[in-house]
Amino acid sequence: MAYISLYRKYRPKKFSEVVGQDVIIKIIKNSIKSNKINHAYIFSGPRGTGKTTIAKIFARAVNCLNFKDDICGECDNCKNKNNNEIDIIEIDAASNNGVDEIREIRNSVKYLPSSLKYKVYIVDEVHMLSSSAFNALLKTLEEPPSHVIFILATTEFNKIPATVVSRCQKFDFKKINNKTIIERLKYILKEENKNINEDVLNLIAKLSDGGLRDSINLLDQILSINEENVTTDQVYNLIGELSDIEVSKLLETITKGDVKELLNNINKYINEGKNLISIVNKLEILIRNILIYNSTDNYFDIEYENILSKFNKIDINKIFELSKNLFELNNELKKTNNQKILIEIYFLKATLLFTNQLNYKTKVCQNNEDISENVNNNAEFNCNNLLSNNDKKININNALSGANKELKNEFINKFKIVEEYVSSKDYNSISNLLLKSIPEVVSDKNILFTFKNNFEVVLFDKNIEDIQKFINMLYNKKYVVVAVSSEQWIDIRNEYIKNIKAGVKYQYIEERPKQKKATKNTVLQDSVEDIFGNDYTTI
């Protein structure tokens, strides 16, 4: 007998064998028992979550002569496979998506079932039908004969026209949780008299992303290795992907700017047949997790937090820029025939983000000349090296130079008014951001805010002009604002206290006037006047 894939061999044949969709099963069973069966259903959800399987069970259940809480498996309708094949019609919409195929359905629905109570049409991947095919199906779908039931299964519900959705009862299939997947895999292993360690089962569940069919398929592949102690590394090699630890090492290589190691890694991935698109996807996921990790607490498990903690000092602006580059690379990799060169170029470009930056060491601000000085990478520097903007340093200095406790108390007392703008359409995002801040230093002209996370500081800096206008409107006074993280503030405050005790005075520094960009006409006029002189030039 030919080998049968595990996912086919262990495909549920009764409601009691289905896992992970308890609510849907309960509703369907109750509707059959109470004889409240709808004429059309839509089963939508991710792949491998049981849509087609439950559709097949449902088709048999409505025709079971002794249905109580599940298919009996003993009555004539349950036993007669030939009749089931005639009256339960499965259609693949991906290859039968035209008007002619739908016309054929319309012509056949008027005929009674050969021996069953209901004729059931299961249309898989229904979103693949053309617009004209959907339109041709509408009337039949709305008023089919009483002996006909339609079950439309899809992974892309958004592509189904609203006119079709409104004629059907919809069930949303959810991803199956890892615990349920592992339990099902253990059941299959027991039936197959096989054994796999818990770490590999956890990895299979994680990689399947809620799809039970994918997890069983992967288990099938792993069992073909025919080894007792299969490791997680073997699983990653089998599917051509990198582990979380390997992805984090790759990101470390990029952020360190180690070009030699980076190129060696790319060659290694290609020689081992790794999926380059998958590697880029995993890097994007890691970056997303780094941003979340820097913004929240206790979101990830301990093991994964150990990976993320390596990047808690990373420049958030650089991470945002890297994310854009990876998104662009992901799109380009799908179009090119030479992925190696493309990924090398983009990864080398990524290293420049982290190596072509100057680090600054903050000094006591007494005049414009000694605000900062460039230092090499091995030097000690303040504020976690994130205050690389001279204007920001000036604004911090100015806030400290005129710091006044009474002004701060007055500002904080009125700061509660920000809450009133949370529901405002124009100021919603600004007010929400400011409510996460603490006004640490207030002078007559300057305010220094602190935020718990660097991520919020980046958002503040990106919207600083709008925030400044908003605060000036609230207080009817012109302020210059600046923001730092709580961690940076500790360093700034300690240095301030140290300087004050040493008798150093912070002096206010006038803002430098911002140079206006020369307009096109100005550039043209300057050039013409240089050639012909003022007397002969009119613009």
Please indicate whether residue 391 or residue 221 has the higher confidence score (pLDDT): 221
**pLDDT for residue 489:** 92
Q: What's the CA gap between 54 and 38, in Å, rounded?
A: 15
**pLDDT for residue 142:** 85
Question: Which of 27-36, 237-246, 291-300, 331-340 shows the lowest per-residue confidence on average (mean pLDDT)?
Answer: 291-300
3-state secondary structure string, 125-156? CHHHCCHHHHHHHHHHHHCCCCCEEEEEEECC
Q: What is the pTM of this model?
A: 0.62
pLDDT level of residue 180 (50, 70, 90 thresholds): very high
List, in sequence order, every residue forming a beta bridge with 89; answer none if it has no partner. Answer: 121
Q: What's the CA gap between 386 and 23, in Å, rounded?
A: 51
CA-wise closest residue to 217 among 239, 195, 232, 196 = 239
Phi, psi dihedral angles at 273 (to 5 degrees): 75, 30
pLDDT, mean of residues 30-36: 91
Beta strands in 454-533 (DSSP E): 480-485
**pLDDT for residue 344:** 86
3-state secondary structure of 89: strand
Q: How far is CA 352 from CA 308, 322, 349, in A?
A: 22, 10, 5
Q: What is the pLDDT of residues 322-338, one digit of tens each?
A: 888 888 888 888 887 78
Q: What is the pLDDT of residues 403-428, one digit of tens each?
A: 999 999 999 988 888 888 877 777 87
CA-wise closest residue to 282 among 201, 177, 207 = 207
CA-wise closest residue to 91 among 136, 128, 58, 132 = 128
Q: How far is CA 59 from CA 83, 174, 308, in A?
A: 12, 21, 48
Q: What is the pLDDT of residues 106-120, one digit of tens each?
A: 888 888 888 888 999
Instruction: Say whether pLDDT at 431 is over 70.
Output: yes
DSSP annotation of 511: P
Q: How far is CA 257 from CA 4, 249, 340, 347, in A?
A: 50, 12, 19, 10
Question: Which of 31-35, 152-156, 194-198, 512-516 shows the lowest per-residue confidence on average (mean pLDDT)?
Answer: 512-516
Q: Which amino acid is at 528?
A: V
Task: Tell me the Cα Rg of the chain.
Answer: 33
Instruction: Say whether pLDDT at 214 is over 60.
Output: yes
Instruction: Say whether pLDDT at 453 is over 70.
Output: yes
pLDDT, mean of residues 9-20: 90
Cβ atoms of 442 and 403 closer than 8 Å: yes
Instruction: Say whether pLDDT at 220 is over 60.
Output: yes
pLDDT, mean of residues 470-485: 91
Q: How far is CA 405 from CA 145, 182, 399, 439, 508, in A?
A: 81, 60, 12, 11, 17
- Average per-residue pLDDT for the chain: 82
Q: What is the pLDDT of residues 58-73, one digit of tens each?
A: 999 998 888 888 888 8
Give the sign of the dihedral formed by CA 175, CA 178, CA 181, CA 183. negative
**Cα 129 to chain centroid, rounded:** 29
pLDDT level of residue 450 (50, 70, 90 thresholds): very high
Please indicate whether residue 378 or residue 523 has the higher confidence score (pLDDT): 523
Instruction: Say whether pLDDT at 464 is over 80.
Output: yes
Instruction: Say whether pLDDT at 41 is over 90.
Output: yes
